[in-house]
Amino acid sequence: MHTTPPRAPFRAGWENDAKPGAGATCRLDALTALAILGPAMQKKLLVVDDDIVALKATSRILQASGYDVTATTRSDEALHFLERDKFKGVICDYHMPDQNGSVIVSAVHHHHPETKVLLVTGYREDLPDFLKTGKHAVRVVDKPFTLQGLLQAVHEEIGVPAPSASEKKA
């Protein structure tokens, strides 16, 4: 009969009971987990654009800048992502074939009011008034934009991602 020896009380930080050839179990306390996972949440962005070329270019520049990007060409899929995950920011095209960007903005404000939104559009004059002024107003980035201009707007509105542990060592 095999019995498991009693464990010592769990200390702050993390424990690892790895034994060669026997697998491992790791435990993290909440503060350590937050220290490890918190910065990842601070970098998480949702990008929504029906133009696949614009979507890929935007996603690549944001990823190269240290953001964790979830990207989609469909607003219904974006709404699904917003229901099941939290994002630090959402960058969304306004004119899309299935729904316009105001649906995404409303969902963000309803489910995650702390999440920042940037709307990308070539038709600023078409935006409804509630997106231009008041409590649900969002930052608008005009098309055409440069990737550097978009990145600057993201940094100003959402914030610069904290460097990862590997970047801090370099």
What are the residue boundaries of the structural domains of the chain, listed by start? 42-159
| pLDDT tens across the length of the chain (170 residues) | 545 455 444 444 445 455 555 554 455 444 444 444 444 445 899 999 999 999 999 999 999 999 999 999 999 999 999 999 999 999 999 999 888 899 999 999 988 999 999 999 998 888 888 888 888 789 999 988 898 899 999 999 988 876 655 555 55
The CATH class for the domain spanning 42-159 reads alpha beta
The token duo for 119 is 């709307």
| Closest among 150, 91, 147 to 117, alpha carbons compared | 91
- The predicted pLDDT at position 30 comes to 47
| Closest among 116, 128, 83, 77 to 98, alpha carbons compared | 77
Indicate left, alpha or beta for 70 from its phi (over 0: left) and psi (-120 to 50: alpha).
beta
- 43 and 162 Cβ atoms separated by less than 8 Å: yes
- The predicted pLDDT at position 162 comes to 66
The token duo for 38 is 């918190």
Q: Quote the distance between the C-alpha of residue 146 and its chain's center.
A: 21
pTM above 0.85, yes or no: no
- The predicted pLDDT at position 163 comes to 63
Rounded-to-integer distance, Cα 111 and Cα 83, Å:
7
- The predicted pLDDT at position 20 comes to 58
